[in-house]
Structures are given as structure tokens and as C-alpha cells.
């Protein structure tokens, strides 16, 4: 019985190559308007804030309160605060299930093709050796 040539290292490398692709399948989704005076603050890890004057701010660690939007600039790491009245929209970075599924499906198809080619090559070499070619 042939032994498996799959090592834990090989599996780890394959997983390490596929997981970042799945994590990279993100999209910007708008959040609802700012919470009312009675509602609590909304916390967002990564946000894209568009001000009414057209300025777009990429922020992290964002808190959306009833009267202000506070976060840290992605580039300069400076704290930014803007009144809600000046904010046109806020988008949240979220994982896209559809894109992640497409990447996972494509990875399975490519892996299947690679395994198929490897099997055909191995069978061809074996048959050539068996028939003396």
C-alpha cells in the first residue's frame, strides 16, 4: 500500500496561501444613519467617512455617536472628530460572502485540476515503465 506523500507542512502552506485570499474578499457597505439621542454609539473597526463637502476619510476605530463621528486616520494615525451634520455617509468594511465563496470555489477547481494533471502524469510514467517504453 503506498504511503501518503502529503506532509503537515505542505497542508499548512496550502492553507496559508488560500486563507489570505478569503480574508481579502471584503466590500464597503453603508451603515444606517447616526443613532438617535436615545441610542448608544456604534463602533466600527474600519470605516470610510464621506463628508458633505466631498472629502473622503479612511478611519479606523470609529465611534458614531448621536452628535459626532470620531476615529483615527488610517495614514497619519491622528484622531479625527466631525459633527454628524457634516457627514454625508459612512461605509463599513465587511466580508463579502459571495466573493469569498467564489474564491473558495475557484481554489477547489484549480486544486482539482492540479491533482488531475499530477495523477495523469504519474499514470503515464507508470504505464511507460510497465510496458517498457
Instruction: Report pLDDT for 1.
Output: 43
User: Coil, strand or helix: which one is 11?
Assistant: helix
Mean model confidence pLDDT for the chain: 79
Give whichever of 27-41, 60-74, 106-120 has the largest mean pLDDT: 60-74
Strand ranges across the sheet with 79-83: 26-30, 87-95, 42-51, 56-64, 68-73, 79-83
In whole angstroms, what is the distance from residue 67 CA to residue 78 CA? 20
In whole angstroms, what is the distance from residue 55 CA to residue 48 CA? 10
pTM of the predicted model as reported, rounded to 2 decimal places: 0.56
User: Coil, strand or helix: which one is 4?
Assistant: coil
Summarize the confidence of residues 78-96 as an average pLDDT.
90
Give whichever of 7-16, 18-27, 53-62 has the largest mean pLDDT: 53-62
Q: Which residue has the cell 495523469?
A: 120
54 pLDDT higher than 90: yes
31 pLDDT higher than 60: yes
Helix (H), strand (E), coil (C) string for 22-61 = HHCCEEEEECCCCCCCCCCCEEEEEEEEEECCCCEEEEEE
Terminus-to-terminus CA distance in the chain, angstroms?
A: 25
Amino acid at each position: 500500500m503506498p504511503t501518503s506523500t502529503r506532509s503537515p507542512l505542505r497542508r499548512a502552506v496550502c492553507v496559508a496561501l488560500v486563507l489570505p485570499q478569503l480574508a481579502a474578499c471584503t466590500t464597503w457597505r453603508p451603515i444606517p444613519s447616526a443613532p438617535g439621542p436615545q441610542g448608544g454609539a456604534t463602533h466600527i473597526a474600519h470605516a470610510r467617512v464621506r463628508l458633505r463637502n466631498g472629502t473622503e476619510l479612511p478611519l479606523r476605530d470609529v465611534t458614531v455617536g448621536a452628535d459626532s463621528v470620531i476615529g483615527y486616520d488610517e495614514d497619519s494615525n491622528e484622531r479625527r472628530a466631525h459633527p454628524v451634520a457634516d457627514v454625508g455617509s459612512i461605509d463599513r468594511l465587511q466580508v463579502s460572502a459571495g466573493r469569498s465563496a467564489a474564491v473558495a470555489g475557484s481554489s477547489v477547481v484549480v486544486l482539482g485540476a492540479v491533482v488531475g494533471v499530477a495523477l495523469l502524469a504519474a499514470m503515464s510514467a507508470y504505464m511507460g515503465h510497465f510496458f517498457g517504453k
